[in-house]
Amino acid sequence: MDSDRIYFRAASNKDYEAIHLLAIEFGVSASQICRFAMSEWLRDNFKKQIELAQLTQKLGENYAKENDKS
Protein backbone atom coordinates (compact mmCIF):
# COMPACT_ATOMS: atom_id res chain seq x y z
CA MET A 1 0.00 0.00 0.00
CA ASP A 2 1.53 3.28 -1.12
CA SER A 3 0.40 6.54 0.36
CA ASP A 4 1.66 10.04 0.86
CA ARG A 5 4.96 10.16 2.65
CA ILE A 6 5.34 11.37 6.20
CA TYR A 7 8.87 11.99 7.37
CA PHE A 8 9.75 10.75 10.84
CA ARG A 9 12.57 11.89 13.09
CA ALA A 10 13.21 9.85 16.22
CA ALA A 11 12.82 11.82 19.46
CA SER A 12 16.17 10.62 20.76
CA ASN A 13 19.21 8.57 19.83
CA LYS A 14 17.83 5.80 22.04
CA ASP A 15 14.59 5.71 20.01
CA TYR A 16 16.59 5.75 16.77
CA GLU A 17 18.70 2.81 17.92
CA ALA A 18 15.62 0.87 19.11
CA ILE A 19 13.88 1.35 15.75
CA HIS A 20 16.92 0.13 13.85
CA LEU A 21 17.43 -2.82 16.19
CA LEU A 22 13.80 -3.89 15.67
CA ALA A 23 14.22 -3.50 11.93
CA ILE A 24 17.26 -5.78 11.96
CA GLU A 25 15.57 -8.34 14.23
CA PHE A 26 12.44 -8.53 12.05
CA GLY A 27 14.26 -8.22 8.74
CA VAL A 28 12.35 -5.11 7.67
CA SER A 29 13.21 -1.47 7.12
CA ALA A 30 13.22 1.19 9.81
CA SER A 31 10.41 2.86 7.84
CA GLN A 32 8.29 -0.26 8.19
CA ILE A 33 8.86 -0.33 11.94
CA CYS A 34 7.69 3.31 12.14
CA ARG A 35 4.70 2.54 9.92
CA PHE A 36 3.64 -0.42 12.07
CA ALA A 37 4.16 1.54 15.29
CA MET A 38 2.12 4.49 14.05
CA SER A 39 -0.67 2.21 12.87
CA GLU A 40 -0.83 0.55 16.28
CA TRP A 41 -0.70 3.88 18.12
CA LEU A 42 -3.51 5.33 16.00
CA ARG A 43 -5.65 2.24 16.50
CA ASP A 44 -5.22 2.53 20.27
CA ASN A 45 -5.27 6.31 20.70
CA PHE A 46 -6.89 8.19 17.81
CA LYS A 47 -10.41 8.37 19.26
CA LYS A 48 -9.14 9.34 22.72
CA GLN A 49 -6.92 12.09 21.29
CA ILE A 50 -9.75 13.55 19.20
CA GLU A 51 -12.04 13.58 22.25
CA LEU A 52 -9.31 15.23 24.34
CA ALA A 53 -8.71 17.88 21.66
CA GLN A 54 -12.44 18.64 21.47
CA LEU A 55 -12.73 18.88 25.26
CA THR A 56 -9.68 21.14 25.45
CA GLN A 57 -11.16 23.39 22.78
CA LYS A 58 -14.47 23.61 24.65
CA LEU A 59 -12.70 24.42 27.90
CA GLY A 60 -10.75 27.15 26.15
CA GLU A 61 -13.92 28.61 24.67
CA ASN A 62 -15.66 28.53 28.07
CA TYR A 63 -12.66 30.17 29.70
CA ALA A 64 -12.66 32.93 27.08
CA LYS A 65 -16.41 33.53 27.59
CA GLU A 66 -15.95 33.78 31.36
CA ASN A 67 -13.11 36.27 30.96
CA ASP A 68 -15.14 38.38 28.53
CA LYS A 69 -17.83 38.81 31.20
CA SER A 70 -15.35 40.44 33.57
Range of the domain at 40: 13-69
- The C-alpha atoms of residue 59 and residue 6 are separated, in whole angstroms, by 31
Q: Specify the number of domains making up the chain.
A: 1
Residue 6 lies in a domain: no
C-alpha separations of 29 from 20, 26, 59 in Å: 8, 9, 42
Task: Give the tens place of pLDDT for each residue, 7-61.
Answer: 889 999 999 999 999 999 999 999 999 999 999 999 999 999 999 999 999 998 8
19: closest CA among 41, 35, 40?
A: 35
Residue 2 lies in a domain: no
Whole-model pTM?
0.69
Residue 4 lies in a domain: no
